Chain A
Amino acid sequence: MKNYAIRRILQMIPVLFGISVLIFVVMKLIPGDVISGILGVESTPELRAQLIAKYGLDKPYVVQYFNWVFGVLRGDFGESIRTSAPILPEILSRFKVTAELTILAAVISWIIALPLGIAAAVKRNSALDRFVRVFALIGVSVPGFALSILLILVLSLAFHYFPPLGYVGFFEDPLRNLQIMILPAAILGVTIAGSVMRMTRSSVLEVLRQDFVKTVRAKGASERVTIFRHVLRNALIPIVTLVGMQIGSLLGGAVIIEQIFSLPGLGQMTLTGINQRDYPVVQGCVLFIAFVYVIVNLITDLLYAYIDPRISYD
């Protein structure tokens, strides 16, 4: 297991290197540049040249790339061209918001999806099952932004409610923090619950059909023991895979939800960076997101061995 983990971590190096090259090239290829954005109508060739030199954008691309990569290796992601703020501390502080949102959304989705998915499988073709299938379909099909705007409108018109403004960290004011986070987290949770519910239902159904379930029942185990101890455990692998992927992409920032609810998360930071062509910010964010994604994948893979002792990485 340890060797496997080390091997996987080493494999991250070429992956992250590839991503760093890709994002650098893409940022150079897309039209528009940060200097035009900063200067706007005030742009003159002299001012442009001056800013280009200031940010080292006049150097050959290869030099720019390696300057950046060596900086990153030393833990220096550079400074934002727009705000002159150092990037890594900003990413880390944004990541806290995104991580909290992700965890809350994931937990909410499990609370909704796992019990309902299992129940739907156990009571197949019942009214509950049909409800679950419809709910799952809605969850999968309705985009988060539509649900967000709808909820904001309904809550403000019918209940005169709007989530509190001005982000505060969980440890500063837990209650206020949860008030701010709960609505976006619930919306994200509901939208991802759909696919988890579907996966749970079909995975549990599949396991229920296997012979060992008959054996377990024949031994006189109660239905609860059968489902939770034997069936669910065997059904978990595909669910964990799906959840791992969802968490990975949510940690990259739920861009639209963060924007609608004005959460200072990683997605919002990346989006602002892209719109302003703030190269170092976008490069830093994408690299960080890729890193998190790879780590989440690794954790998911390692979890398999715990869930199913038959899987061994040695």
Chain B
Amino acid sequence: MKKANKWLSLILVGILLIGVLAGCGDSSGTTTPATATPTESAAPASGGILRFGTDSEPTSFDPHTCSEEASLRVIHQLYETLVCYNSDMTITGQLAESWEIPDETTYIFHLRQGVKFHSGREMTADDVVYTFDRILGKTDAGDIGALGSKASYYGGIASITAEDTYTVKITLAEPNAAFLSSLTKTYGAIVDKDVVEANGDLSRADGGTGPFTLQEWLPDNYVTLTKFSDYWDAGRVKLDGITYYLIGDEAARLAALRTGEIDIANLSATNVTAAEAESNLKVISYQSNTYIALGCNLSTAALQDKNVRQAIDYAIDRQALINVVFDGKAVPCSMVPPAMGHWSLDVTDMDLYQYNLEKAQQLMQDAGYSDDNRLTLKVAAGLMDSIRQTAVVLQQQLAKIYIDLEITNLESAEYVDAWGKMSTPDAGFDMMIVSDGAGEDPNRSIAFFFGTGAAANVFGFSNARVDELCALGIATTDTAAREQYYNEAQEICIDDCTKICIASPTLYFVTSDKVSGFEPFASDISNFRDTSIAG
């Protein structure tokens, strides 16, 4: 008995010790801001709180300088743009109720009246002018390194003036058919001048007009947003708030969905099958506007031979690759993937997209390669699972045409570094597997990635006709004519094989069966305005 008492007291002391020591760990300051505890367990009053399992951590909420997925997810709830995309890829008004284009360089926007910023102040034409002044570095803060400041976005704005409280006139230096499309980007989100000036920037502040306001951010853990009661379209918004929980591990995200700890998460194709088997989960798919491609470093002598590059293209069995890498859930594509609707070229019948081993081998033999004289190429992969797996599949497929791929998986900073050097020997790689976002307008997909000297044309592709077609395409708003220009440009880029486009994946959200009214599409994957959660 005495012995039992001793043990009991030991256990009690142990438990106490845990408590005390755990407390010590917390005693040196406050952990979370006063508003704390994400309202995860609180019973939703009307629309409920949507709990989103996010795979990466946001770094900033400044819409003008931030381009990461995790940050954009939140920024999309806080901010709005003058115009936005419908699911059929037509452009509709958001903060602008309507607009006129009297000539090819003049845009007049009539702003929605009564739109409030989260500070409670009404948004006016002055804020729109301030926004673009900020982006273009014309405010007192100077050049803030805004992502939209480049010529392809808003750099072509010659002047912007407030005609009256609710009318803004933008004059472009030269016609830019992609201008309206670029206004749909969060890089051009309309911001509250007072909030920017009070905080220096918007990296941790909220100067938007969106349906949700920023409540709290505990780095590497969660971000909470609450419904903005003065939102101009408040009747439409059903959710009371959104909480983004960082769950980096995909298996853990699936487990959290399964047990109802979160309501929605993005999962890769390989885990979607497991989610489909769960009765309380729904799988929502959408075709992405990203694509996987194999880029050739043209400073490598062997790859300067177009026949070798074409042989590689013929030797890629896209369907086999899609089956392995994307579990069959992707489509072969050009640099303008099918999610971009009518702009996308149908590649199914194109010669270079047909797997043709004999032709590939013949081309390689003509170039002097054989089993005794194999070509060894260093390929950079990394960053994402799909990129890593694509490298492995290509290694097997290209082995049949006398090419030995040496794969190096780089971690993200190294990868980005090598990416920027892929037209020079400095990269240290002959090829790189990339995953690129094609945007909404073909000008972005082609001029930005294939134009001579363009920012994202890292493989150094250069073709005078493509440059000419891009210039023609951006200078007219005639859709049929643009389509013709960009189709021809796609054909030239495909034939050149400097960057061999492989496939555009279907992407997935998995939600609990209580979530309804969420319909993502490539240009708008974070719209929860119509979303609600049942009891």
What residues make up the interface of A, taking CB atoms closer than 8 Å to B?
Answer: 30-34, 36-37, 40-44, 47, 50-51, 54, 82-85, 89-90, 92-97, 99-104, 107, 111, 149, 152-153, 155-157, 160-162, 164-174, 176-178, 181, 259-265, 268-269, 272, 275-277
Q: Is B1 an interface residue (CB 8 A)?
A: no
Residue A262 contacts which of B246, B419, B436, B456 (CB distance < 8 angstroms)? Answer: B246
* A–B complex contacts, Cβ < 8 Å, 27 sampled: A32-B411, A32-B414, A32-B416, A36-B420, A43-B455, A44-B150, A51-B145, A83-B204, A84-B201, A96-B29, A99-B24, A100-B26, A102-B25, A104-B22, A107-B14, A152-B252, A162-B256, A164-B41, A165-B38, A165-B51, A165-B256, A170-B26, A172-B32, A264-B219, A264-B220, A268-B220, A275-B411
**B interface residue count range (under 10 / 10 to 19 / 20 to 34 / 35 or more):** 35 or more
Q: Contact between A37 and B150 (Cβ–Cβ < 8 Å)?
A: no
Q: Contact between A262 and B413 (Cβ–Cβ < 8 Å)?
A: no
Find chain A residues with CB under 8 A from B219 CB.
83, 85, 90, 264, 269
Q: A36-B416, A36-B417, A44-B150 are in contact. Are A166 and B222 (CB under 8 A)?
A: yes
A174 to B18, CA, bound (A): 11
A243 to B32, CA, bound (A): 30
A87 to B139, CA, bound (A): 29
CB distance from A306 to the nearest CB of B (A): 18
Q: Contact between A157 and B32 (Cβ–Cβ < 8 Å)?
A: no
Q: A84-B60, A268-B220 are in contact. Are A171 and B29 (CB under 8 A)?
A: no
Find chain B residues with CB under 8 A from A54 CB.
145
Find chain B residues with CB under 8 A from A42 CB.
67, 147, 150, 455
Q: A82-B60, A166-B221, A166-B222 are in contact. Are A93 and B22 (CB under 8 A)?
A: no
Residue B22 contacts which of A111, A152, A153, A170 (CB distance < 8 angstroms)? Answer: A170
Q: Contact between A168 and B36 (Cβ–Cβ < 8 Å)?
A: yes
Q: A42-B67, A153-B251, A275-B411 are in contact. Are A31 and B147 (CB under 8 A)?
A: no
A94 to B261, CA, bound (A): 24
Q: Is B492 an interface residue (CB 8 A)?
A: no
Residue A149 contacts which of B22, B32, B249 (CB distance < 8 angstroms)? Answer: B249
Find chain B residues with CB under 8 A from A30 CB.
413-414
Q: A83-B203, A92-B29, A264-B219 are in contact. Are A168 and B258 (CB under 8 A)?
A: no
B420 (CB) vs chain A CBs: closest residue:
A36
CB distance from B483 to the nearest CB of A (A): 25
Q: Is B21 an interface residue (CB 8 A)?
A: yes
CB distance from B393 to the nearest CB of A (A): 25
Q: Contact between B36 and A172 (Cβ–Cβ < 8 Å)?
A: yes
Q: Contact between A260 and B26 (Cβ–Cβ < 8 Å)?
A: no
Q: Contact between B31 and A31 (Cβ–Cβ < 8 Å)?
A: no
CB distance from B446 to the nearest CB of A (A): 14
Q: Contact between B31 and A93 (Cβ–Cβ < 8 Å)?
A: yes
Q: Contact between B259 and A31 (Cβ–Cβ < 8 Å)?
A: no
Residue B259 contacts which of A33, A44, A161 (CB distance < 8 angstroms)? Answer: A161
Q: Contact between B59 and A160 (Cβ–Cβ < 8 Å)?
A: no
Q: Contact between B37 and A173 (Cβ–Cβ < 8 Å)?
A: yes
Scan residues 245-284 of chain B and give those whose CB is less than 8 A from a CB of chain A: 245-249, 251-252, 255-256, 258-262
Scan residues 32-55 of chain B and give those whose CB is less than 8 A from a CB of chain A: 32, 36-38, 40-41, 51
Find chain A residues with CB under 8 A from B411 CB.
32, 275
A261 (CB) vs chain B CBs: closest residue:
B252
Find chain B residues with CB under 8 A from A181 CB.
22
A30 to B410, CA, bound (A): 12
Residue B31 contacts which of A41, A84, A169, A262 (CB distance < 8 angstroms)? Answer: A169
Q: Is B218 an interface residue (CB 8 A)?
A: yes
Other contacts beyond A160-B259, A165-B40, A167-B32: 6, CB < 8 A: A32-B413, A37-B412, A40-B67, A153-B255, A162-B261, A168-B36
Q: Contact between B220 and A171 (Cβ–Cβ < 8 Å)?
A: no
Q: A169-B26, A272-B57 are in contact. Are A262 and B251 (CB under 8 A)?
A: no
Residue B21 contacts which of A43, A103, A277 (CB distance < 8 angstroms)? Answer: A103
Find chain A residues with CB under 8 A from B259 CB.
156, 160-162
Q: A43-B455, A44-B150, A259-B248 are in contact. Are A162 and B255 (CB under 8 A)?
A: yes
CB distance from B521 to the nearest CB of A (A): 21
Q: A33-B413, A42-B455, A167-B218 are in contact. Are A262 and B247 (CB under 8 A)?
A: yes
Q: Is B17 an interface residue (CB 8 A)?
A: yes
CB distance from A283 to the nearest CB of B (A): 15
Q: A32-B417, A40-B416, A277-B413 are in contact. Are A166 and B21 (CB under 8 A)?
A: no
A-B interface, 10 closest residue pairs, ranked by CB to CB distance from nearest: A32-B413, A100-B25, A169-B31, A156-B255, A166-B38, A99-B25, A162-B259, A32-B417, A264-B220, A170-B26
Query: Which has the most chain A C-beta neighbours within 10 Å: B23, B220, B417?
Result: B220
CB distance from B445 to the nearest CB of A (A): 12
1/0 per residue, CB under 8 A from A, across B225-253: the answer is 00000000000000000010111110110
CB distance from B13 to the nearest CB of A (A): 11
Q: Is B535 an interface residue (CB 8 A)?
A: no
Residue B258 contacts which of A37, A40, A160, A177 (CB distance < 8 angstroms)? Answer: A160
Residue B417 contacts which of A33, A160, A164, A171 (CB distance < 8 angstroms)? Answer: A33
Find chain A residues with CB under 8 A from B37 CB.
166, 168, 172-173, 176
